[in-house]
Protein backbone atom coordinates (compact mmCIF):
# COMPACT_ATOMS: atom_id res chain seq x y z
CA UNK A 1 0.00 0.00 0.00
CA UNK A 2 1.34 3.40 -1.00
CA UNK A 3 -0.09 6.75 -0.05
CA UNK A 4 0.27 10.25 -1.36
CA UNK A 5 -1.29 13.66 -1.52
CA UNK A 6 -1.19 17.02 -3.23
CA UNK A 7 0.72 19.96 -1.78
CA UNK A 8 -2.22 21.47 0.14
CA UNK A 9 -3.28 18.06 1.45
CA UNK A 10 -6.83 18.46 0.19
CA UNK A 11 -6.53 15.35 -2.01
CA UNK A 12 -5.21 12.14 -0.49
CA UNK A 13 -4.92 8.82 -2.30
CA UNK A 14 -3.76 5.28 -1.83
CA UNK A 15 -2.38 2.80 -4.35
CA UNK A 16 -3.10 -0.85 -3.82
CA UNK A 17 -0.34 -2.47 -5.87
CA UNK A 18 3.43 -2.59 -6.19
CA UNK A 19 5.04 0.36 -7.93
CA UNK A 20 7.45 -1.75 -9.94
CA UNK A 21 7.26 0.08 -13.24
CA UNK A 22 8.54 3.62 -12.89
CA UNK A 23 9.73 5.64 -15.85
CA UNK A 24 11.01 9.14 -16.46
CA UNK A 25 8.58 10.61 -18.96
CA UNK A 26 10.11 13.16 -21.31
CA UNK A 27 6.99 13.84 -23.41
CA UNK A 28 6.13 17.40 -24.31
CA UNK A 29 2.88 17.29 -22.30
CA UNK A 30 4.61 16.31 -19.07
CA UNK A 31 7.34 18.84 -19.68
CA UNK A 32 4.96 21.73 -20.14
CA UNK A 33 2.39 20.71 -17.51
CA UNK A 34 5.01 20.16 -14.83
CA UNK A 35 7.42 22.88 -15.88
CA UNK A 36 10.16 20.27 -15.75
CA UNK A 37 12.36 18.55 -18.31
CA UNK A 38 11.11 15.09 -17.33
CA UNK A 39 8.73 13.61 -14.80
CA UNK A 40 9.13 10.31 -12.93
CA UNK A 41 5.81 8.43 -13.02
CA UNK A 42 4.68 5.03 -11.73
CA UNK A 43 2.57 3.20 -14.30
CA UNK A 44 -0.31 1.27 -12.72
CA UNK A 45 -3.71 -0.17 -13.67
CA UNK A 46 -6.33 2.56 -13.31
CA UNK A 47 -8.40 0.66 -10.75
CA UNK A 48 -5.46 0.43 -8.31
CA UNK A 49 -5.69 4.11 -7.41
CA UNK A 50 -8.20 5.11 -4.77
CA UNK A 51 -8.96 8.74 -3.96
CA UNK A 52 -9.43 8.72 -0.19
CA UNK A 53 -10.25 12.37 0.26
CA UNK A 54 -10.84 15.48 -1.83
CA UNK A 55 -12.36 13.94 -4.95
CA UNK A 56 -14.34 17.16 -5.42
CA UNK A 57 -11.06 19.11 -5.65
CA UNK A 58 -9.75 16.98 -8.49
CA UNK A 59 -9.69 18.77 -11.85
CA UNK A 60 -9.20 16.95 -15.14
CA UNK A 61 -7.73 18.49 -18.24
CA UNK A 62 -8.24 16.41 -21.36
CA UNK A 63 -5.33 16.26 -23.78
CA UNK A 64 -7.62 15.42 -26.66
CA UNK A 65 -5.14 14.21 -29.26
CA UNK A 66 -3.86 11.51 -26.93
CA UNK A 67 -7.21 10.78 -25.23
CA UNK A 68 -5.78 11.22 -21.76
CA UNK A 69 -6.68 13.26 -18.72
CA UNK A 70 -4.22 15.24 -16.63
CA UNK A 71 -5.57 15.20 -13.09
CA UNK A 72 -4.56 17.88 -10.65
CA UNK A 73 -5.67 19.65 -7.48
CA UNK A 74 -7.84 22.68 -8.24
CA UNK A 75 -6.70 24.33 -5.00
CA UNK A 76 -2.91 24.03 -5.09
CA UNK A 77 -2.28 22.96 -8.70
CA UNK A 78 -0.34 19.79 -7.83
CA UNK A 79 -0.36 17.34 -10.73
CA UNK A 80 -1.17 13.96 -9.25
CA UNK A 81 -1.60 11.58 -12.19
CA UNK A 82 -2.47 11.12 -15.82
CA UNK A 83 -5.34 8.82 -16.73
CA UNK A 84 -5.62 7.02 -20.03
CA UNK A 85 -9.08 5.38 -20.04
CA UNK A 86 -8.50 3.51 -23.31
CA UNK A 87 -5.42 1.80 -21.89
CA UNK A 88 -7.00 1.53 -18.41
CA UNK A 89 -3.75 3.02 -17.18
CA UNK A 90 -2.65 5.67 -14.73
CA UNK A 91 0.73 7.36 -14.64
CA UNK A 92 1.08 8.42 -11.05
CA UNK A 93 3.44 11.31 -10.33
CA UNK A 94 6.09 9.78 -8.05
CA UNK A 95 6.82 13.13 -6.36
CA UNK A 96 3.35 13.09 -4.77
CA UNK A 97 3.98 9.82 -2.89
CA UNK A 98 4.81 9.93 0.81
CA UNK A 99 7.48 7.21 0.65
CA UNK A 100 9.79 7.19 -2.32
CA UNK A 101 13.06 5.83 -0.90
CA UNK A 102 12.64 2.37 -2.46
CA UNK A 103 11.37 3.53 -5.82
CA UNK A 104 13.72 3.34 -8.78
CA UNK A 105 13.05 4.36 -12.38
CA UNK A 106 13.59 1.68 -15.03
CA UNK A 107 13.73 3.70 -18.22
CA UNK A 108 13.36 7.02 -19.99
CA UNK A 109 10.30 7.12 -22.24
CA UNK A 110 8.87 9.37 -24.94
CA UNK A 111 12.33 10.64 -25.77
CA UNK A 112 11.25 11.61 -29.30
CA UNK A 113 9.61 14.78 -27.96
CA UNK A 114 12.19 15.49 -25.29
CA UNK A 115 14.01 18.78 -25.06
CA UNK A 116 17.36 17.74 -26.51
CA UNK A 117 19.29 20.45 -24.67
CA UNK A 118 18.37 19.00 -21.31
CA UNK A 119 18.52 15.25 -21.84
CA UNK A 120 19.71 13.34 -18.78
CA UNK A 121 19.42 9.63 -19.37
CA UNK A 122 21.08 8.67 -16.05
CA UNK A 123 22.36 5.53 -17.73
CA UNK A 124 18.84 4.11 -18.04
CA UNK A 125 17.47 2.46 -21.20
CA UNK A 126 15.72 5.07 -23.34
CA UNK A 127 12.73 4.67 -25.64
CA UNK A 128 11.49 7.05 -28.32
CA UNK A 129 7.87 6.31 -27.38
CA UNK A 130 6.23 4.35 -24.57
CA UNK A 131 7.73 0.82 -24.52
CA UNK A 132 5.55 -2.09 -25.63
CA UNK A 133 4.49 -4.84 -23.21
CA UNK A 134 7.33 -7.03 -24.56
CA UNK A 135 9.88 -4.29 -24.07
CA UNK A 136 8.61 -3.61 -20.56
CA UNK A 137 8.99 -7.29 -19.63
CA UNK A 138 12.69 -7.11 -20.38
CA UNK A 139 13.39 -4.08 -18.20
ZN1 LIG B 1 -4.06 20.49 -3.26
ZN1 LIG C 1 4.65 12.40 -20.32
Give the ligand at the shortest distance from the Cα of 23: 2
Q: Do the beta carbons of residue 125 and residue 107 sit within 8 Å?
A: yes
Per-residue pLDDT, 121: 78
**How many beta carbons lie within 10 A of that of residue 64, not counting itself?**
7
Question: CB within 8 A of 30, min separation 6: which ones?
Answer: 36, 38, 39, 41, 82, 110
Q: In percent, how much of the chain has pLDDT > 90?
A: 83
pLDDT band at 116 (very low <50, low <70, confident <90, very high): confident
Residue 12 parent element (H or E):
strand 12-15
Q: Domains in the chain, start-ordered, CATH in brackets? A: 2-138 (2.170.150.70)
Give the closest ligand to the alpha carbon of residue 109. Answer: 2
Say what the pTM is. Answer: 0.92
Residues with CB under 5 A from ligand 2 (ion): 25, 27, 30
CB under 5 Å of ion ligand 1: residues = 6, 8, 10, 73, 75-76
Amino acid sequence: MHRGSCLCGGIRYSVNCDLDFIVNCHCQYCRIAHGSEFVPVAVIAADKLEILEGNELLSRFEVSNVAAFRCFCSTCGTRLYNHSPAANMISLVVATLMETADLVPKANVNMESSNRCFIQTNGLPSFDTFPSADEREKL
